[in-house]
Structure 1
Amino acid sequence: MRIAVEDLSVTLAGRRVVAGVHLVAEDGEIAGLVGPNGSGKSSLLRTVYRHLRPSAGRVLLAGRDVAALRPAQSARHIAALPQERGGDFELSVREVVAMGRTPYKGAFAADDAEDHRITAEALARVGMAAAADRRFAQLSGGERQRVLLARALAQQPDVLVLDEPTNHLDVRHQVELLALLREQRRTTLVALHDLNAAASVCDRLHVLHDGALVASGAPREVLTAELLAEVFGVRAAVVEHPLTGDPLIAFDHRTPAGQGA
């Protein structure tokens, strides 16, 4: 399902943190948001899953303004994995993932066999099936991240909105999560700090800087040495990954941007 951000602005505490952004994630496309800290990535994503109200502009889901959808209706279409993981739920892992079925149920309705099946499948997809009976509060940060991704998958949404989903994950589980996103082929908006991960998993990248969109396109088109110096303040060479052929950014960790030869 296509999602479009049209002339979106967000103001927080009197300061504009997103300024007139236009971007699109086409049906089945993984669209990445990249940019330095404070560039507006999280604020933009929060407007997509309706945690924030934009000060101007709108978000369209298949041509419909998400602000006009009822909360349960919106939750059937859009699932989010925000950076903040929430409290230490006094629930089991299975119960946390089953919360993803809430948009499909009436008040006080018990889980049925289909809910149990979907919950179990979501846990298996993120490699947490064996932990189903553990307490969520007892998990490590990486394990919690995978459980909350399973909860988002259990919503069976048309659109996934993920804010730094690889946070707290070790290398193996980072690779597995990114592979899962590609396998899903579900419309996805994802903010990533790791530019090499973004280049590997995303079909299109949108670069934010000081709340404004400064570049959009395929990773190979967007991730240039010039952009990396201007937006991120680093010296880097962009080469071809020897295993995948994706763009691979080799950072100069010794010389700040602007001080090289």
Structure 2
Amino acid sequence: MRIAVEDLDVALSGRTVVSGVRIVAEDGEIAGLVGPNGSGKSTVLRTVYRHLRPHAGRVLVGGTDIRALSPAESARQVAALPQERGSDFELSVREVVAMGRTPYKRAFAGEDRGDAGLVESALERVGMVGAGRRRFSALSGGERQRVLLARALAQDPRVLVLDEPTNHLDVRHQVELLALLREQRRTTLLALHDLNAAASVCDRLHVLHGGAVVASGTPREVLTADLLAEVFGVRAAVVEHPLTGDPLIAFDHRAPAALTPVS
């Protein structure tokens, strides 16, 4: 399902933090939001999954304004893994993942066989299939991250929205998560700090700076040495990854570039 953010303005505490943002992820495409801290990535994503209401603009899911949908219908279309993640759930891992089935259930309805299958499948896909009875609050940060991703997958949405999904994950589980996203080919909008991970997993990148989109295109089109200097304030060379052929950014940690404004 195609998702499009059109002319989005968001103000927080009377201050505009996102202005005129246009972002798109085509059906089955992984679109990444990258940019420095404070550039507006999380604000855009919070608007997509209805945590924030925009001052202007709209979010279209399959051509429908997401604000025109009921909360349950919206949750059936879009599942989110936000940065603000609960750590005090006094629930088992399986119970947390089963929460993803809530948008499909009537009040007080129990779990059916289809729900159980989706929950077990989601746990298996994130490598937590044997952890269903463990307390969520007793898990490590990386394990919690994987369980919350399983909850989003169990929701069986048309669109996934992920805010820094590789946070707290070790290298192996970062690689496995990114491979999972590519394998499922579900329309996905995600924010990443790791530019090399973004270059590897994303079909399209949108670069945010100062609350506005300053570049959009494929990773090869967007991730240039000039843009990295202007937006991120770093000196880097962009080369070909020897294993995958993706763009690979080699940063110069000895001589960072001077930060220059983006015109």
Interval containing the TM-score (normalised by the shorter chain): over 0.9
Identity %: 81
Name the residue aligned to 1:198: 198
TM-score of the superposed pair, with normalisation by structure 1: 0.98
Name the residue aligned to 1:56: 56
Name the residue aligned to 1:44: 44
3-state SS of 1:157 partner: coil
Correspondence list, 1:179-258, <5 A: 179-258=179-258
Counterpart residue type for residue 190 of structure 1: L
Quick check: 1:81 aligned with 2:76?
no
How many pairs does the alignment contain? 259
User: In the TM superposition, what is the alpha-carbon distance from 1:87 to its structure 2 partner?
Assistant: 3.7
3-state SS of 1:146 partner: helix
3-state SS of 1:116 partner: helix
Separation in 1 of the partners of 2:87 and 2:180? Answer: 26
Separation in 2 of the partners of 1:161 and 1:17? Answer: 20
Counterpart residue type for residue 152 of structure 1: A
Is the 2:159–2:186 contact (alpha carbons within 8 Å) kept by the matching residues of 1?
A: yes
Separation in 1 of the partners of 2:208 and 2:201? Answer: 18
3-state SS of 1:234 partner: coil
3-state SS of 1:256 partner: coil
Separation in 2 of the partners of 1:169 and 1:246? Answer: 22
**What is the aligned-residue RMSD (CA, Å)?**
0.8
User: In the TM superposition, what is the alpha-carbon distance from 1:84 to its structure 2 partner?
Assistant: 1.2
Counterpart residue type for residue 109 of structure 2: A
Q: What are the ranges of 5 or more consecutive residues in structure 1 without an aligned counterpart?
A: none
Is the 2:87–2:136 contact (alpha carbons within 8 Å) kept by the matching residues of 1?
A: no
Deviations 1:49-101 (A, max 9, x none): 00000010000011100001000000001000001112410000000000000
Name the residue aligned to 2:133: 133
Separation in 2 of the partners of 1:242 and 1:140? Answer: 33
3-state SS of 1:50 partner: coil
TM-score of the superposed pair, with normalisation by structure 2: 0.98
User: In the TM superposition, what is the alpha-carbon distance from 1:199 to its structure 2 partner?
Assistant: 0.1
User: In the TM superposition, what is the alpha-carbon distance from 1:7 to its structure 2 partner?
Assistant: 0.2
